[in-house]
Amino acid sequence: MFTDITYQDFLAASDKEALLLEAVRRYKASPAFHHALEANCYFRGENSAVARKTILRARKLEGRDAAGRRRVRTATEDVVGNRIASAFLYRFVTQQNQFLLSEGVSLPPECKQALGADFDRALEHLGECALLHGCAWGFWNADHVEVIEAAKNAYTGFFPLLDEMTGEPRLGVQFWQIAAERPMYIRIFDEEGVMILREDRHGLSIVQEKEPYRRTLTTDALESAILVVEGYGRLPLIPLRANKDAASELTPAIKAKIDAYDAILSDFADNLERANDVYWVLNNFGGTMDDVAELLEQINRVKAVANLSDGSGSGATAEPRTIEVPYAARREALSLLERALYQDYMALDMDALTGGSLTNVAIRAAAANLHLKADRYEWQLRQFVQELLALIGCPTEDIRFNRQTIANESEVVADIAAMRDDIDLRTALRLNPYIQEEEIEGLVSAQ
């Protein structure tokens, strides 16, 4: 969390707007903001470490000295090599998030309706941002959840001003620009409402005066319409944390292994590129380098040479050779790093689930770590949904997340058949993975 400037600093400031501008600048320069942007890059498959990679290459420099004689010397230069980035973070974050949220959250009908028709999709988006940045924010905007990211790009983000005593967010600051040379907009959330400022070359100005979060139209005793303006009694910004530390899932351990994997793969591609041509060893060839170039041009053009002799009388031969690039050690290193990445992230390696004969016990054992990690993530999701429902006046403890399941369906059907005498038809149909929920009533009625 950003703590360079706190809510108490804001209250004590004589020029609050100037303090907010300073807070935005400090947040943009903070390690938290830069790490969130880095996580976005890795999620998109852009490895910042590999993007700076170059290779050293020798080159020939020709010139003439003061007497006009030709001089040749060698030098080295850094050139851009292969920069191959992997998609491990995208795979891991998507797997963890969709494992819990792909089927939405189950709530009592009145609560689900109060959250809006698009709540499940917004929660998926919010969860993805939380896993990448460590924490994302849901803004209850009258009748729906608006997802606010801690860092979207170099010009767009959000941070709260925390209370020094409780650590709770008391003020929210969202900023955005479409480009560096364009104006910056700042949306400020407090307990009473939201306002928008604009900073450009002329200074800071108010774009939108503070507006309350909700308005209610009611009537008095004379049945006259009255517009009631009220708040929520708290800031309608609710954090969704990736874990109890609100830390990004791009941990130093995960990042280091991804960097090593991408570096090895990129170096291997460079070596293959440098060694993919046949080279020729010319034995007893007495010609100059220009003669060699002419010879190779003839070989490449007509695939034959009439005479390899330079006229000295000695025989000459041309022998093609290739460079064998060592790959066994690199392949083993890549395999070890990939296995370590899956273990550290506690993700499920789908390559381990192959073959139709794989039992459900083996599948559950392979997915055990993913379930354990999902348990910890579910705590944060449950807390977010509880706080949101309490904010809108629809509290409940009946909150369930339906996890994606992987099973050997043939084995499941066989198990249902084995216990058919102990369960009724409706239960057997409900357990059958090949039968949809809406088909059950028709099948029961047909019996």
Instruction: Report how far apart, in Å, the C-alpha atoms of 221 and of each of 71, 217, 226, 228, 416 are.
Output: 103, 14, 11, 15, 64
Burial of 436: CB neighbours in 10 Å, binned 0-12, 13-18, 19+: exposed
Task: Say what the pLDDT of residue 253 is.
Answer: 95
**CA separation for the pair 447, 441 (Å, rounded):** 10
Q: Is the pTM of this model over 0.85?
A: no
Higher pLDDT, 353 or 121: 121
Task: Say what the pLDDT of residue 330 is.
Answer: 81
pLDDT digits over 114-138, tens only?
A: 999 899 999 999 999 999 999 999 9
* Averaged pLDDT of the chain: 82
pLDDT digits over 395-413, tens only?
A: 999 999 988 777 666 666 7
Per-residue pLDDT at 429 exceeds 70: yes
| Residues 197 and 181 sit within 8 Å (Cβ to Cβ) | no
| Residues 198 and 184 sit within 8 Å (Cβ to Cβ) | yes
Average pLDDT, integer, range 299-310: 56
End-to-end CA distance of the chain: 60
**CA separation for the pair 96, 380 (Å, rounded):** 13
**CA separation for the pair 83, 267 (Å, rounded):** 9
Instruction: Report how far apart, in Å, the C-alpha atoms of 413 and of each of 111, 120, 138, 200 are.
Output: 35, 31, 42, 66
pLDDT digits over 72-110, tens only?
A: 665 555 555 667 889 999 999 999 999 999 989 999 999
Reported in sequence order, the residue ranges of 278-391 that DSSP labels E, i.e. its strands, are 279-283, 317-321
Reported in sequence order, the residue ranges of 125-213 that DSSP labels E, i.e. its strands, are 135-140, 145-148, 151-153, 156-162, 169-176, 184-189, 193-200, 203-212
| pLDDT over 70, % of the chain | 74
Task: Say what the pLDDT of residue 269 is.
Answer: 76
pLDDT digits over 139-184, tens only?
A: 999 889 999 999 999 999 999 999 999 999 999 999 999 998 999 9
The most confident of the ranges 58-67, 252-261, 422-431 is 252-261
Query: What does 209-268 look like in DSSP terms, one character per residue?
Result: EEEESEEEEEE-TT--EEEEEE--SS-SEEEEESSTT---SS-HHHHHHHHHHHHHHHHH
Q: Where are the domains of the chain?
A: 1-61+81-269+327-397, 279-321, 408-447
Amino acid at 321: R
pLDDT bucket at 293, cuts 50 / 70 / 90: low
pLDDT bucket at 439, cuts 50 / 70 / 90: confident
| Residues 196 and 186 sit within 8 Å (Cβ to Cβ) | yes
pLDDT bucket at 310, cuts 50 / 70 / 90: very low
Higher pLDDT, 222 or 267: 267
Per-residue pLDDT at 369 exceeds 80: yes
Least confident of 168-172, 310-314, 382-386: 310-314
Least confident of 37-46, 180-189, 231-240: 231-240
What is the SS3 assignment for 276? coil
**CA separation for the pair 225, 159 (Å, rounded):** 39
